[in-house]
Chain A
Amino acid sequence: MKLRVSHILYAAALVGFILLPQLITVKYYLHLSVLALVWVIAAQGQNLIQGYTGYVSIVQAGFMGIGAYSTTLMGLHFGLPVWLTILLAPFVTALFALFAGYPSLRVKGHYFAIVTLAFNLVIFIVLMHATDLTQGEAGISGIPKPGREGGWLDFANREVYYYFVLIIAVAMTALAALIVRSRIGQTLIAIRQNETLVGAIGIAAWKYKLFAFVTSAMYAGLAGALYAHYQSFINPEIFGLAQSLDAILAVIIGGSGTILGPVIGAFVVVFLPEYLRFADSFRLILYGLLLVLATIFMPRGIVGVVGQLWARMAGKATR
């Protein structure tokens, strides 16, 4: 019965997302919605390593940057078509994640967080200073859209790009759900609960942790690539530490270790700053406050709170 309720919820959410562009009258909100969908992909990846495996990684935006720059540079230097570079970007990111994850997954908890944070800084510094390749702080503009010019789909149209990203975000969310329900997902959840025992029952935990880390980076790489071709402009600032914290925030606020959590969380982190604009430079302080309050009062995020309310209501109804 519970399963059926959640299926109806999923279907309703999907219908809502499909209808959204028709309901939005302010163009700017459609733009934010596209960005939020990009963040859904990045947050789903973050959730795999942070929510399910229990390893808080602070490099998701850095990996988005690798995805964004690799799709852009492959197009620029090798003349590859956009669809192909978008497809390749997650794999380029995966290579970097393998390199970063192998040593850093030997440490746990805060140490892991700090090591990944350092990787994000390194990525940022390299993007900033390898000016021959990345044009540094000035960034790269004029990044082409997918599809041929004059093709039957005009990706320069925001609505078209919205549906393009929506399809990918839904597919990546479904993939995350499949991973979580598989033997691999069960093992990741087991690592979060008791890594020592995972080793004692004969499972090489490091392989699964590396899988989760690399997969999460591939999600980020894909999100970064979609972002680059949507905005047509990238610079290192977009992929700094603050954005990695956004990915963490999205997972915590939405609901860590749940499939819908990152979806809700991504929309919160994209739309909330718009509503916090009045606070200007105090934005980050408000953000931090929000994060602290969220972890204290809703450790399972919005999904957890709604789930509790739902259970309470269902309990009253049957009484």
Chain B
Amino acid sequence: MTDTVLEVENLCKSFGGVQAIRDLSFTVARGEVLGLIGPNGSGKSTTVNALAGVFPATSGQIRLGGTPVQSLTEHGRVGLGLTRTFQTASIFPEFTVREQITLGGTVTLKSHPLSSVFGMGRDASEAEALRARVQDILDLTGLAPVAEQTVGTISSAQQRFLMIATALAARPKIILLDEPAAGLISHERKTLADTIKAIRDRGTSVLVIEHHMALIMEVCDRIVVLNFGSKIAEGTPAEIRTNRAVIDAYLGEAV
């Protein structure tokens, strides 16, 4: 049993002549929060999309809990415990908050979808467990008060938390957060930081892409810095803050 949840080895991704990621390697341990930062166009989102399976990597290895996943589809990777959120809110506007999170959890159900049509062969304990998990996630992400509201009618901040909640429902080993703080105001960012820490404390690893440095420095155990698709630094928040290359490329002097 390995304690490494995600291993990325020599990952490359090219779009035509543009090399978006070059020879990127890093690992994420169980219950670790890893930050992925870098200037715009440094390849952060490409990395998330390649990890999630939106498009295939050009070369390199991605292993989830030791299993290579390069050839798996997006949904296949979710089944192995990797879920994600999106930079812009991606929601089911007509569902209620509870319905959307529940749908996010159906991937964990063992019973065949057809059995749910006639209510036969349905595992009641399984459905009950999912209901309980959804309630737990609603509490964790602070969405319980709006649980029965239509997703299209809740605030955009709540929609961002809903994306995290939906991704959590699949009981992931690791969750990729793509700029979760975008559009959040200060006290919402505080809630977000607490939520990320709570997710980590439950043993789920987090890979977070973010431009908001205070948040990154607060929640991350380690940080990987990208520039022009290559890793230029890796270390604890304290190390990254004083790293010369990172300051020159991204952070600037006054941090």
Interchain nearest-CB distance for A193 vs B (Å): 4
Interchain nearest-CB distance for B52 vs A (Å): 7
B contact set with A: CB distance below 8 Å = 52, 73-75, 78-79, 83-84, 86, 90-95, 99, 103-104, 106-107, 109, 113-114, 116-118, 166-167, 169-170
- Evaluate contact between B73 and A201: CB separation under 8 angstroms: no
Partner of A178, one of B106, B109, B113, B118: B118
Smallest Cβ-Cβ distance to A186: which chain B residue: B103
Contacts of A205 in B (CB 8 A): 75
Contacts of A189 in B (CB 8 A): 92, 94-95
- Evaluate contact between A203 and B90: CB separation under 8 angstroms: no
Interchain nearest-CB distance for B174 vs A (Å): 13
- Evaluate contact between B92 and A193: CB separation under 8 angstroms: yes
Does chain B have a CB within 8 A of A190?
yes
- Evaluate contact between A179 and B117: CB separation under 8 angstroms: yes
* Known contacts A193-B94, A197-B86, A201-B166; 6 further A-B pairs (Cβ under 8 A): A193-B93, A200-B86, A201-B75, A201-B104, A201-B107, A203-B103
Contacts of B91 in A (CB 8 A): 193-194, 197
Choose among B52, B106, B109, B113 the residue with the greatest number of A CB atoms under 10 Å from its CB: B113
Interchain Cβ contacts under 8 Å between A and B, 29 examples: A178-B117, A182-B117, A183-B106, A183-B109, A187-B103, A189-B95, A190-B95, A193-B91, A193-B94, A197-B86, A197-B90, A199-B74, A200-B74, A200-B78, A200-B83, A200-B90, A200-B167, A201-B103, A201-B104, A201-B106, A201-B166, A201-B167, A201-B169, A202-B75, A202-B79, A202-B83, A203-B103, A204-B75, A205-B75
Interchain nearest-CB distance for A285 vs B (Å): 34
Does chain B have a CB within 8 A of A196?
yes
- Evaluate contact between B118 and A203: CB separation under 8 angstroms: no
Interchain nearest-CB distance for A213 vs B (Å): 16
Does chain B have a CB within 8 A of A172?
no
- Evaluate contact between B106 and A187: CB separation under 8 angstroms: yes
* Docked complex Cα distance between A184 and B118 (Å): 11
A-B CB pair tally, cutoff 8 Å:
75
- Evaluate contact between B94 and A201: CB separation under 8 angstroms: no
* Docked complex Cα distance between A197 and B106 (Å): 13
Smallest Cβ-Cβ distance to A178: which chain B residue: B117
Smallest Cβ-Cβ distance to B104: which chain A residue: A201
With A178-B117, A178-B118, A201-B107: A193-B95 Cβ-Cβ less than 8 Å: yes
Interchain nearest-CB distance for B146 vs A (Å): 18
- Evaluate contact between A194 and B103: CB separation under 8 angstroms: no
Interchain nearest-CB distance for B103 vs A (Å): 6
Smallest Cβ-Cβ distance to B117: which chain A residue: A182
Contacts of B74 in A (CB 8 A): 199-200
- Evaluate contact between A203 and B107: CB separation under 8 angstroms: yes
* Docked complex Cα distance between A183 and B126 (Å): 13
For window 154-206 of A, CB contacts with B under 8 Å fall at 178-179, 182-184, 186-187, 189-190, 193-194, 196-197, 199-205
With A193-B94, A200-B84: A183-B113 Cβ-Cβ less than 8 Å: yes
Choose among A187, A190, A205 the residue with the greatest number of B CB atoms under 10 Å from its CB: A190
Smallest Cβ-Cβ distance to B166: which chain A residue: A201
- Evaluate contact between B84 and A194: CB separation under 8 angstroms: no
* Docked complex Cα distance between A190 and B90 (Å): 12
Interchain nearest-CB distance for A94 vs B (Å): 15
Interchain nearest-CB distance for A187 vs B (Å): 7
- Evaluate contact between A187 and B113: CB separation under 8 angstroms: yes
